A and B are shown apart, each in its own frame.
Chain A
Amino acid sequence: SQTIHQWPATLVQPVGSPLSLECTVEGTSNPNLYWYRQAAGRGLQLLFYSVGIGQISSEVPQNLSASRPQDRQFILSSKKLLLSDSGFYLCAWSPMQDTIYFGEGSWLTVV
């Protein structure tokens, strides 16, 4: 069966510091991969999606970037965090159907 795992689960970072959130999917190949952000426990905002290695589409202009160095690995990064980057970040994957499946989420607090 397929599983998705993201880490770290929580982190507290100072303003201006870099960020790296990682996500891996097991048990499938060539999945579509997504990064979402959720603020204040509501509203899922799509940040990035990827249909293949090295193929990244950005949905909103922001301080973040994403990379897909391997088929089942998706990384969310920032060179310099802003206070407004705080939130709950969710990695997700989808097979050929339209359904997507989420990871456990990562809480980011920028202080």
Chain B
Amino acid sequence: GQQLNQSPQSMFIQEGEDVSMNCTSSSIFNTWLWYKQDPGEGPVLLIALYKAGELTSNGRLTAQFGITRKDSFLNISASIPSDVGIYFCAGSNAGNNRKLIWGLGTSLAVNP
């Protein structure tokens, strides 16, 4: 099935560093979502973006809906050990079924 291009695939950083990851698509989306998954748990919604150009923050997290509607990025500032996990992006073309297209995830490791 269709997938988003999410990069980087993995990151290993020092505590306190900033992190940036992004997703791109060949299709236009009406919604971009960012999730975080801790080991052995279900993904948790971090930020939802519904409008092209929208920039939204959630604590140390900031995400933007690309103006072309084909990309989105997520930034984490001043990383801490609990930021460890896999981050997924997802996009939706809306419609009745609410099916999301997913990236393959960015695995983040933080060295204390």
The 11 sampled A-B contact pairs (Cβ below 8 Å) are A41-B86, A42-B105, A46-B99, A49-B97, A51-B97, A57-B97, A97-B31, A98-B33, A98-B100, A99-B33, A99-B48
Binding site for A on B (CB under 8 A): 1, 30-31, 33, 35, 39-45, 48, 50, 86, 88, 92, 94, 96-100, 102, 104-105, 107
Q: Considering only CB atoms, which chain A residue lies closest to B42 in the complex? A: A102
Q: Count CB-based A-B contacts (< 8 Å).
A: 62
Known A-B contacts: A41-B39, A46-B100, A107-B40. Give 9 more (CB < 8 A).
Answer: A44-B43, A46-B1, A49-B99, A92-B42, A99-B33, A100-B98, A100-B100, A101-B45, A105-B42
| Complex Cα gap A55–B33 (Å) | 26
Least CB distance from A13 to B in Å reads 19
Determine whether A87 belongs to the interface, using a CB cutoff of 8 Å to chain B.
Answer: no
Query: Which B residues touch A59, using CB under 8 A?
Result: 1
Q: How large is the interface on A (under 10, 10 to 19, 20 to 34, 35 or more residues)?
A: 20 to 34
Interface of A, secondary structure class, is strand
Query: Which B residues touch A41, using CB under 8 A?
Result: 39, 86
Tell whether, in the assembled complex, residue B86 and residue A94 are in contact, meaning their CB atoms are under 8 Å apart. no
Least CB distance from A73 to B in Å reads 18
Known contacts: A42-B104, A44-B88, A98-B92. The answer to whether A32 contacts B42 by CB under 8 A is no
Of listed B1, B33, B97, residue having the most chain A CB within 10 A: B97
Least CB distance from B50 to A in Å reads 8
Determine whether A43 belongs to the interface, using a CB cutoff of 8 Å to chain B.
Answer: yes
